[in-house]
């Protein structure tokens, strides 16, 4: 399936866009960015130079993904989400001169497979969002988010566990186990982290 790029989108010739990816009106994809197959880049979204995005990712309208962010396969980025890239931002140096690209080092937000970032959330780099984690809308993420964690608030804190279906898990019959009410998948909590289990509860 061929890629689709709206006439009003600004896609750098040096960007690599996978088959089946759709880029909507007024979106910008900068030089060196790599987008996988079957992605969606919504209206007004921004993808910075060298950003890497895996297959089947969705960037909703006006999401801002600054370099050098990395999104693994199946990541959802909600409307107006911001991924920062400067840990200590300044427009000028200590002498009051405008900073250039040589005056700072960009840092990344990394989203692991299947993670979802809710609308208007801000992820403050450097930070990693774990596999299948869910960031609630309006959150500010300042620390790494574990796999399968549901985090919310300012700053974001874990409030529940979620499964691959994105719904909160329920306590299983055995202590330390959690079950997805939608898929029946069982998870095991060990030392504050959650792992998928091959066994059914």
Give the tens place of pLDDT for each residue, 100-110: 888 889 999 99
Distance from the first to the final alpha carbon of the chain: 41
Q: What is the largest CA-CA distance in the chain?
A: 63
Annotated catalytic residue, options 25, 62, 87, 187: 62
Query: Radius of gyration (Cα) for the chain, nearest Å?
Result: 18
170 lies in the same domain as 106: no
18 lies in the same domain as 43: yes
pLDDT of 148 higher than 80: yes
78 lies in the same domain as 126: yes
94 lies in the same domain as 47: yes
84 lies in the same domain as 147: yes
Q: Whole domain around residue 72: which residue ranges?
A: 4-162
40 lies in the same domain as 131: yes
Per-residue model confidence (pLDDT) at position 101: 83
Per-residue model confidence (pLDDT) at position 193: 95
> Taking the mean position of all CA atoms in its chain, how far away is CA 5?
22
Rounded to 5°, the CA angle 164-55-30 comes to 125
35 lies in the same domain as 126: yes
126 lies in the same domain as 102: yes
94 lies in the same domain as 193: no
What are the C-alpha distances in Å from 98 to residues 89, 90, 103? Answer: 12, 9, 9
Give me the mean pLDDT over the 66-82 stretch: 98
Phi, psi of 196 (to 5 degrees): -75, 145
110 lies in the same domain as 183: no
Query: How many separate domains does the chain show?
Result: 2
Give me the CATH number covering residue 151: 2.160.10.10
CB 163 within 8 A of CB 148: yes
Across the chain, mean pLDDT equals 95
- Tens-place pLDDT, residues 152-183: 999 999 999 999 999 999 999 999 999 999 99
Q: Is 62 known to be catalytic? A: yes
Give the SS3 label for residue 103: helix
118 lies in the same domain as 167: no
What are the C-alpha distances in Å from 182 to residues 9, 132, 170? Answer: 38, 15, 10
Per-residue model confidence (pLDDT) at position 199: 54
What are the C-alpha distances in Å from 40 to residues 8, 133, 159? Answer: 15, 20, 29
157 lies in the same domain as 173: no
CB 141 within 8 A of CB 151: yes
> Taking the CB of residue 158, how many other CB atoms lie within 10 A of it?
17
Per-residue model confidence (pLDDT) at position 201: 41
Give the SS3 label for residue 90: coil
Give the SS3 label for residue 101: helix
């Amino acid at each position: 399936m061929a890629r689709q790029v709206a006439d009003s989108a600004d896609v750098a010739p040096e960007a690599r866009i996978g088959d089946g990816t759709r880029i909507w009106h007024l979106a910008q994809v900068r030089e060196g960015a790599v987008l996988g197959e079957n992605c969606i880049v919504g209206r007004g979204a921004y993808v910075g130079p060298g950003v890497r995005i895996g297959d089947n990712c969705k960037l909703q309208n006006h999401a801002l993904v600054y370099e050098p962010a990395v999104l693994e396969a199946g990541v959802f980025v909600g409307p107006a989400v911001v991924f920062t890239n400067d840990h200590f931002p300044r427009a000028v140096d200590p002498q009051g001169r405008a900073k250039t690209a040589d005056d700072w080092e960009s840092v990344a937000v990394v989203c692991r497979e299947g993670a979802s970032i809710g609308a208007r959330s801000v992820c403050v780099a450097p930070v990693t969002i774990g596999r299948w984690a869910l960031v609630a809308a309006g959150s500010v993420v300042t620390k790494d988010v574990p796999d399968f964690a549901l985090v919310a608030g300012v700053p974001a804190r874990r409030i529940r566990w979620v499964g691959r279906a994105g719904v909160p898990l329920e306590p299983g019959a055995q202590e330390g186990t959690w079950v997805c009410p939608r898929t029946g998948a069982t998870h095991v909590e060990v030392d504050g982290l959650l792992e998928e289990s091959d066994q059914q509860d």
